Structure 1
């Protein structure tokens, strides 16, 4: 069923879901949403499975015309969304009619906004996922960012739309994108291959996100991270959130579209919960790192998933 038509393209808007989780051994990037927290909540609000396909908009929103009665929710970054010219609240469900228009204005907070629609966006699956990987030109809508004139379809929704109207997250459940909050990580396999003075600076000083940052990785600039015996290693596995340090002695955070292996030292790995926070940072903002152990990282992850499960149950359709 056709649901929206792109009236004005954004800076970088794609269809994303959870990503391709089973193909790393074959060299296939995971892709998927950058901020899993915001995307999952958008789906919960409109009654979808948590990992249904959504629109991911970066810095500049994509204006769309509504083609059929639907329920939508916008979460994540505040890109000043409006429905027929009236400001919209984030983290809230709106019922829209054919002929309505959703537009976006200036960025207020965050970097990436997510739009979910009841039923989820319907595109052909590639390796089991609807996610767009633009570097490979596959997945999503024709393997590319959305352009003016594109028409998207949605899957059939099993829930009465009227029951979705007005659903929203409680204020205490809505994340605050705080550029001053430290980003937590666990130590990587090559943590001890850096000079002690560099490690101390890494844990106490700030790094700035450079303009050369995207869905593949965030390049940072700050205190040099000096290796004891050089940056090169035998190539091995790289996961989303890996903090790699090449010969430039400046860290790179691998994000959703990263490769699956690499040959530079890995000083740490950002915990899953905080990757969503990193995804909402923009070039020019700073990142401070806070090291925690694996047990603490697992506890934080469990707590977040328990909270999301509770919200999903409280918003289940009967």
Structure 2
């Protein structure tokens, strides 16, 4: 059991998403950085879809009311268990009455400075909240899923499915995907995009500007959508489009000309023209981009998008090999 000690806004219980319900008008929800959630669950030996806490606002503190293994991933938040510093992207064992503190995210030094915005706290076995439409993810638009369908508040208590002193190894970590698979243009974090249905209906100058200039993620951005600021995207002629199905990653252009990228809590339909779609393999990069930061877009192809998914699978396989080695060593100790 853990108790939330912070009033940090918008921390929610998330899993990999509520898939298969878009046809009923129910959005996917789920982790903004699905790789970070996956890694935390793999390190703990959890089911890959186990629910964890997504933390987008800091500082954030929880108290363990029982012994429990946990993993932290995502943004490097200078985590401490009581007064002991913890490494990011690692798994540990907590004892009853210990307090875990996550500070505002730090940049990761390397060939280029990497910034992230969300941390994930996973507990052994996953967080025990009710399954709604085959998912434990919080859907804030509909006020269901997760913990009472809302962001976590001070005093909330959450139970781990496998508390106690675990039999799996702890005290080790993995290489973050942003370090293993960096992607930048001119020192700015980059996202790969496929042109979408109405792409050719925008002016050539607008299409060129989209790929060649930075875009700022504005303060009007959240889990529903990222609103961007940059050069206006202008249609060749006015377009009127009936509302139709959309998914996370779709880049729409409203009448004002400033793009909106649909994110995990996006509604499942919309009527703005579709300029492009962020490839699935890069949604984790976008989900970690901080509000106020700049991003660049890279035009890609279907084949390149499939190759990017294969690269993610290679990273995942390397993580699984490391974890298997840790368990083998632990079993021989």
Higher mean Cα deviation, 124-133 or 103-112? 103-112
**Does the 8 A contact of 1:177 with 1:280 survive in 2?**
no
- How many residue pairs are counted as aligned between the two chains? 315
Calculate the TM-score normalised by the size of structure 1.
0.93
SS in 2 for 1:64: strand
Higher mean Cα deviation, 72-81 or 121-130? 72-81
- Match of residue 166 from structure 1: 171
Matched, 1:215 2:223: yes
SS in 2 for 1:111: coil
Specify every segment of 5 or more residues in structure 2 that has no aligned partner in the other structure, as ranges.
108-115, 329-333
- Match of residue 37 from structure 2: 39
Deviation at 1:61, TM superposition (A): 4.1
Match 2:261 to one of 253, 256, 260: 253
Aligned-pair RMSD on alpha carbons? 2.0
**Does the 8 A contact of 2:68 with 2:165 survive in 1?**
no
Output one character per residue of 1:131-189: Cα deviation in whole Å (capped at 9) or x when no partner: 001121100000011111111011137x9725321131147885569771321111111
Matched, 1:226 2:234: yes
Query: Measured at CA, do residues 170 and 210 of structure 1 come closer, stay the same or move farther in structure 2, by a change above 3 Å?
Result: closer
**Does the 8 A contact of 1:233 with 1:263 survive in 2?**
yes
**Would you tell me which structure has more strand in proportion to its own residues?**
1
- Match of residue 111 from structure 2: none
**Does the 8 A contact of 1:91 with 1:174 survive in 2?**
no
Query: Measured at CA, do residues 208 and 173 of structure 1 come closer, stay the same or move farther in structure 2, by a change above 3 Å?
Result: closer
Deviation at 1:105, TM superposition (A): 2.1
Deviation at 1:229, TM superposition (A): 2.1
Alignment of 1:43-62 (within 5 A): 43-62=41-60
Specify every segment of 5 or more residues in structure 1 that has no aligned partner in the other structure, as ranges.
none
SS in 1 for 2:309: helix
Alignment of 1:198-213 (within 5 A): 198-213=206-221
- Match of residue 300 from structure 1: 308
Deviation at 1:209, TM superposition (A): 0.8
SS in 1 for 2:319: helix
SS in 1 for 2:118: strand
Measured in 2, the distance between the counterparts of 1:172 and 1:208 equals 23
Deviation at 1:86, TM superposition (A): 2.2
Higher mean Cα deviation, 161-170 or 75-84? 161-170
- Match of residue 25 from structure 1: 23
Output one character per residue of 1:94-124: Cα deviation in whole Å (capped at 9) or x when no partner: 1110111101223324111001111000000
- Match of residue 286 from structure 2: 278
Higher mean Cα deviation, 233-242 or 143-152? 233-242
Output one character per residue of 1:230-283: Cα deviation in whole Å (capped at 9) or x when no partner: 243122221111110010101001000001111011110001121111111122
Matched, 1:115 2:113: no
Higher mean Cα deviation, 178-187 or 285-294? 178-187
Higher mean Cα deviation, 265-274 or 306-315? 306-315
